[in-house]
Amino acid sequence: MTNVEGEEQAASRLALRWGAATDVGRVRQQNEDSVWASATLFAVADGMGGHAGGEVASALAIEELRRSAELGPLTPQVLAEAIWQANDRIVAEAAGRHELLGMGTTLTGIAVVATADGERWAVFNVGDSRVYRYADGSLTRLTVDHSAVQELIAAGRLTPDEARRHPRRNVVTRSLGSDPAPVPDIWLFPPVPGDRFLVCSDGLTGELADTDIATLLREFDDPQTAADELVRCANEAGGNDNVTTIVVDLRAAAA
């Protein structure tokens, strides 16, 4: 299992701590998830495609986001453009290498962005990886899955628990690596001290119910420990897919 942890001042009023973990799971031969965690950007990409395609697609998506974040302050528009550029790179790479045809990836996460009203969190998503918010003892999913089973849930034909076991649960309706490029979901909201965020691939949510995830986020205060425990429990529950987690805490900065 790979771990990444950090602690840094993200804004004048807020202290930011995080931990991240990724693991191949108990069934797959290679890890097609990619992850990035820094002071202003936290992202997970879950690749798909034959041979090494999924691994390549997810790595390209993360690389493009990371590059944009390192060039200067992110804005909502810069974030959207970085996602589209990631899609274009994946499409171009697949066109130039026959063994990568059909590769794609999800991409989801949170980023600190500059707006006219000051710094805001941007939640972004393409595909069925997820972002959750844990606050005041309650877990809320902030992203909407772009998936076949989510459409069935919205139509009232499946419950969320049934969707976790449905044979089409891995069919996504939006992903990077498509032409035309998918439209990413992006939401903005103010940072609030005390909030905890979870960014994860479906290797976690396919094995653990939201109630189990909330219990682990409540039990482990340290974000790296929480990220590690989420991965461990997903593997214990079956580990049928690669699993990646990022746990991010916002706390009041010291005076």
Interval 15-29: pLDDT, tens? 899 999 999 999 999
Q: Residues with Cβ < 8 Å from 33, sequence gap 6 or more?
A: 22, 44, 45, 46, 47, 58, 201, 203, 242, 243, 244
β-bridge partners, 166: none
Calculate the average pLDDT of the chain: 90
Looking at residue 9, its pLDDT comes to 47
Element (H, E) at 47: strand 41-48
- The predicted model gives 85-111 an average pLDDT of 93
- pLDDT above 60 (res 52): yes
β-bridge partners, 34: 45
Looking at residue 62, its pLDDT comes to 98
- pLDDT above 70 (res 200): yes
**Structure confidence at residue 6 as a pLDDT band (50, 70, 90):** low
**Structure confidence at residue 8 as a pLDDT band (50, 70, 90):** low
- pLDDT above 60 (res 102): yes
Global pTM reads 0.91
- Give the SS3 label for residue 220: coil
In CATH, what is the architecture of 2-252? 4-Layer Sandwich (3.60)
Looking at residue 10, its pLDDT comes to 44
- The predicted model gives 122-138 an average pLDDT of 97
* More confident: 234 or 5: 234
* More confident: 252 or 124: 124
- The predicted model gives 98-105 an average pLDDT of 89
- The predicted model gives 174-196 an average pLDDT of 95
Looking at residue 49, its pLDDT comes to 81
Rounded distance between C-alpha atoms, residue 18 and residue 8, angstroms:
9
Question: How is the chain split into domains, by residue range?
Answer: 2-252
H-state helical runs in 75-199 = 76-96, 148-154, 160-163
